[in-house]
Amino acid sequence: MRADILAKHWPGPIGSLIDGEIVEGTGEAIGLVCPATEELLASYADAGADVAARAHTAAERGGGAWRALSASRRGEILMRAADLVARDAEALATVEALVAGKPIRDARAEAGRVAEMLRYYAGFADKIEGRVVPVASGHLTLVTPEPLGTVVQITPWNAPLFTAGWQLAPALAAGNAAILKPSEWTPVTSLMLGRLLIEAGVPAGAVSVVAGFGHTAGAALVSDGRCGKAVFVGSVPSGRKVAALAAAAGRPSLLELGGKSAMVVFADADLAAAATCAQGAIFAAAGQSCTAGSRLLVERPVYERVLDWLAEGAAKLRVGDPLDPATEVGPLQNARQYASVRGTIAAGRATGARLVLGGARPAALGEGPGYFVAPTIFADVAPDAALAREEIFGPVLAVLPFDGEEEALALANGTDFDLAGAVWSRDGAKALRVARGLRAGSVWVNGYRTLSVQAPFGGMRGSGFGRSSGAEVIAEYTQAKSLWIETAATPVFPFGYAPGAPG
């Protein structure tokens, strides 16, 4: 029974982690369904607005206690949290595989990356420094980066543990309290991470995890006047709603949204390497990745050759149970996404695009259960077709031919999404020219998808705004404060005269 595996790692009820305690919601019941077997793993009640308000109250108190610690002490605590994540990595990875459907080998790697992110930002905690600016008045004017107070972080279901660590680590390092609202379909690894942070020494209340729906708990968290910033990772429509709620409350937001990223392969590239890399770019995480390389643009003379190699390699990918260490491609995370991807494939077929591979459940898995879709490749996709323009968030690749650099760039930059992209060529100057012309937050030359906590990440235009990772994210989680200290023997007052004698 898979429910037993979950219960082993998360005994007790699922609810919200507030002040270090699990608070059960009172709203609509939410079932956690195993994407590989469709078994009900557990159910819990939506947190709703009342629990959201409690999280803000806890954050005010806990955040104060967190900020009262020295920056070095905060760094030590985050370092300790990294060690605890490493200690519990297998449990975290197992729950991620079970609930989110992430292949266990990827889930293990992601647990490792959460520990890495905590270590990286633990090191930042006592290096967030201010500056002195040379103002004309002669004041000693200090600029100090101040925490925002409480940040609300709303995350999706595709990489819940990774995303939680990605946003919590810098927010806490910068001295904020954080309230995380994971996807309603995948709250457990976020709860586990929240508990580990508290075990490491983060004051209970400085980190809360609210388990519930976006339109109830999420909206209430963002609309609360105690929210200092709304950080959102998820789809474009929900992100726009969250940004609008934050704006209505007069608060800033950071949006990490979807993508329709293109890999451009020129005829002079290492074609075998490009074809292999393209498989991982789209089929890792079953395409449920914001950076998925979901469009492959291939120069016409080598178009059929690259397609053949790609299809041959992708046909061998092992699709199956996420708990099996041999699995490379897991299921889609939920029934809604499964229906959506299958609908997109059916619509794609109807447009006349050439189905080169997949397009259905993997034959070896029969009729079910599980939300599995075989790696699917459509060739000759029209640039204006939905397959080439819309985020599918599934293992579906659209392949398009092009002639020359100009057309490659026009196609690659031809959607509203600008999250990631890649160019493959052995001509260094051409590769750099095209890489510079690609409109995207992250671009790879002769590669794809390598990401690191040290480098900033984020989208342009429709893919969002603000940057996560790297040193850049510290600016997202702080605000500059100017502190003016009078140093003149005879200060000049704002109306332009020196103080006279009293009376």
In the complex, least distance from residue 186 CB atom to ligand NAD, rounded to whole angstroms: 8
Q: What does the alpha-carbon distance between residue 44 and residue 195 come to, in Å, rounded to a whole number? A: 18
Q: Is 198 helix (H, G, I), strand (E, B) or coil?
A: helix
Total of residues contacting ligand NAD (CB under 6 A):
29
- Return the number of the residue (158 or 415) whose C-beta is nearest ligand NAD: 158
281 C-beta neighbours (distance < 10 Å), count: 27
Annotated catalytic residue, options 96, 290, 299, 328: 290
- Return the number of the residue (49 or 84) whose C-beta is nearest ligand NAD: 49
- Return the number of the residue (106 or 256) whose C-beta is nearest ligand NAD: 256
Among the candidate windows 51-59, 129-137, 207-215, 352-360, which touches ligand NAD by CB under 6 A?
207-215
Write the binding mask 349 to 388 for ligand NAD: x where contact by CB under 6 A, - elsewhere. ----------------------------------------
Q: What order of strands is seen across the sheet that includes strand 207-209?
A: 21-23, 16-18, 207-209, 177-181, 150-154, 229-233, 253-256, 464-465
- Return the number of the residue (259 or 331) whose C-beta is nearest ligand NAD: 259
Q: Is 177 helix (H, G, I), strand (E, B) or coil?
A: strand
Q: Do residues 138 and 47 make contact, with C-beta atoms less than 8 angstroms apart?
A: no
- Return the number of the residue (334 or 425) whose C-beta is nearest ligand NAD: 334
215 binds ligand NAD per the rule CB under 6 A? yes
Q: Do residues 467 and 458 make contact, with C-beta atoms less than 8 angstroms apart?
A: yes
Q: Which residue is nearest to ligand NAD (CB)?
A: 214
- Return the number of the residue (150 or 155) whose C-beta is nearest ligand NAD: 155
Q: What does the alpha-carbon distance between residue 77 and residue 159 come to, in Å, rounded to a whole number? A: 24
Structure tokens at 97: 């595989």
Annotated catalytic residue, options 184, 256, 299, 328: 256
In the complex, least distance from residue 131 CB atom to ligand NAD, rounded to whole angstroms: 30
In the complex, least distance from residue 222 CB atom to ligand NAD, rounded to whole angstroms: 6
223 binds ligand NAD per the rule CB under 6 A? no
Write the binding mask 309 to 328 for ligand NAD: x where contact by CB under 6 A, - elsewhere. --------------------
Structure tokens at 243: 């940004």
233 binds ligand NAD per the rule CB under 6 A? yes
Q: Write the burial class of residue 153 (CB in 10 Å: 0-12 exposed, 13-18 middle, 19+ buried).
A: buried
- Asked if 38 is an active-site residue, the reply is no
Q: What does the alpha-carbon distance between residue 192 and residue 199 come to, in Å, rounded to a whole number? A: 10
- Asked if 34 is an active-site residue, the reply is no
Q: Do residues 181 and 216 make contact, with C-beta atoms less than 8 angstroms apart?
A: no
Q: Do residues 128 and 478 make contact, with C-beta atoms less than 8 angstroms apart?
A: yes
Q: What does the alpha-carbon distance between residue 245 and residue 225 come to, in Å, rounded to a whole number? A: 11
- Return the number of the residue (46 or 328) whose C-beta is nearest ligand NAD: 46
Q: What does the alpha-carbon distance between residue 422 and residue 437 come to, in Å, rounded to a whole number? A: 11
Q: What does the alpha-carbon distance between residue 130 and residue 327 come to, in Å, rounded to a whole number? A: 48
258 binds ligand NAD per the rule CB under 6 A? yes
- Return the number of the residue (16 or 425) whose C-beta is nearest ligand NAD: 16
- Touching ligand NAD, residues 390-449 (CB under 6 A): 391, 393, 419
| Contact pick of 238, 253, 442, 478 for ligand NAD (by CB under 6 A) | 238
287 binds ligand NAD per the rule CB under 6 A? no
- Touching ligand NAD, residues 5-64 (CB under 6 A): none
- Touching ligand NAD, residues 125-164 (CB under 6 A): 154-158
Return all residues near 213 (Cβ < 8 A) that are at least 6 apart.
Answer: 27, 28, 30, 46, 184
Report the b/e string of 89-106 with b at 16+ CB within 10 A.
beebbbbbbbbbbbbbbb
| Contact pick of 57, 141, 144, 235 for ligand NAD (by CB under 6 A) | 235
| Contact pick of 15, 48, 149, 234 for ligand NAD (by CB under 6 A) | 234
DSSP alpha helix (H) spans, 22-180: 48-68, 71-87, 89-95, 104-124, 160-173
In the complex, least distance from residue 321 CB atom to ligand NAD, rounded to whole angstroms: 22
Q: How many residues does the chain have?
A: 503
234 C-beta neighbours (distance < 10 Å), count: 24
242 binds ligand NAD per the rule CB under 6 A? yes
In the complex, least distance from residue 188 CB atom to ligand NAD, rounded to whole angstroms: 14
Among the candidate windows 231-239, 279-287, 343-351, 405-413, which touches ligand NAD by CB under 6 A?
231-239
Q: Which residues bind ligand NAD (CB under 6 A)?
A: 154-158, 181, 183-184, 213-215, 218-219, 233-235, 238, 241-242, 256-259, 290, 391, 393, 419, 459, 464
What is the set of active-site residues?
Answer: 256, 290
